[in-house]
Amino acid sequence: MSRAALYDRTGGPEVLYVGEVADVQPQPGHVLLRVRAAGLNPFDSKMRAGFIPSDAPFPRRIGGDVAGTVAAVGDGSVYGDGTAIQVGDEVFGRAGGAIAERVVASASELAKRPEALPVEVAGGMWVAGLTAVSCLATIPIGEDDTVLVGGAAGGVGFVAAQLAVATGARVIGTASERNHELLRSVGVEPVTYGEGLADRVAGLGQVTAVIDAHGRDALDAGVQLGVPADRMVAIAAYAAVDELGVHNAERAARTPENLLELADDVVAGRLVFPVAATYPLDEVVAAFTAVDGSHAPGKIVVLP
């Protein structure tokens, strides 16, 4: 047996508790991890709150991002390069229900953690990092672009904005004023979101592409500024995808290989991937209260 964050009904962070669960032996192509770090995401909160319907039985587990140590290996579990995963390997990636002492992960969603990548950073990278990669895979950005990134100080937006800067593009990012200096520090021109966004952005120059990593404000601004729909991508505005004809971020780029590239960028100092706070497993309610509220930029990570 080991301990995991669980909930018996949908609701706010207070429905979460830590309970005992049976450890399962990994099936072929899967491994059992001793979790060392598990990042929290708004998606986890939406599932817990019931905003995303699910018929999974209660008690339900929660979490997805993970870094941990391999404790047991199912048959045929290999990394993307074909090498065998071994007990004791330090890995990172994705595993459903990761906010726990132990979790089973698919080998196809794991990579070996570079030694120089801190475990609490590695444990929060999959969802935010690879969603950002997906945005740029969906609408390729280059040095002739001026990109508007909505929610540029958020988990996804901050990575997407930096990846766009790295292409040589000019990048304008929306954020609260308290985060403007952070955006400037990575080469992003900050602009405050809310009423009048399109006018403020128009005063800065002609936008050629939009990545909306928050909702649809930046997409609506893009429409007003004459950005073609096929140069705009959304990650959290499903209605806008239909109404405006913009892209959903495609999923094919969410691979361990792309995760390793991001990790190399972090280790080399080319990508800033902040951790806002860490919590022990027993404080999972406080950790999700922080995710659901307004917190410092960066990931909230549970260290079981």
Ligand X SMILES: NC(=O)c1ccc[n+]([C@@H]2O[C@H](COP(=O)([O-])OP(=O)(O)OC[C@H]3O[C@@H](n4cnc5c(N)ncnc54)[C@H](OP(=O)(O)O)[C@@H]3O)[C@@H](O)[C@H]2O)c1
Binding site residues, ligand X, CB under 6 A: 41-43, 46, 127-128, 131, 150-151, 153-157, 174-176, 179, 193, 213-215, 217, 235-236, 249
Nearer to ligand X (CB atom), residue 213 or residue 263: 213
State the minimum distance, in angstroms, from the CB of residue 65 to ligand X.
Answer: 10
Q: How far is the CB of 247 from ligand X (least distance, A)?
A: 11
Q: Which residue is nearest to ligand X (CB)?
A: 154
Taking the complex as a whole, the smallest distance from the CB of residue 146 to ligand X amounts, in Å, to 18
Shortest CB 55 distance to ligand X, Å: 20
Give 26 or 173: the residue with its C-beta nearer to ligand X.
173
Radius of gyration of the chain (CA): 19
The minimum distance between CB 76 and ligand X, in angstroms, equals 28
Least separation in angstroms between CB 83 and ligand X = 29
The token duo for 134 is: 């997906």
- Choice between 19 and 42, CB closer to ligand X: 42
> Which of 26, 129 has the CB closer to ligand X?
129
Give the residue with the Cβ less far from ligand X, 21 or 149: 149
Measured from the CB atom, the residue of 22 and 252 that comes closer to ligand X is: 252
| Number of Cβ within a 10 Å radius of residue 45 | 18
Cis peptide before 114 (omega within 30 of 0): no
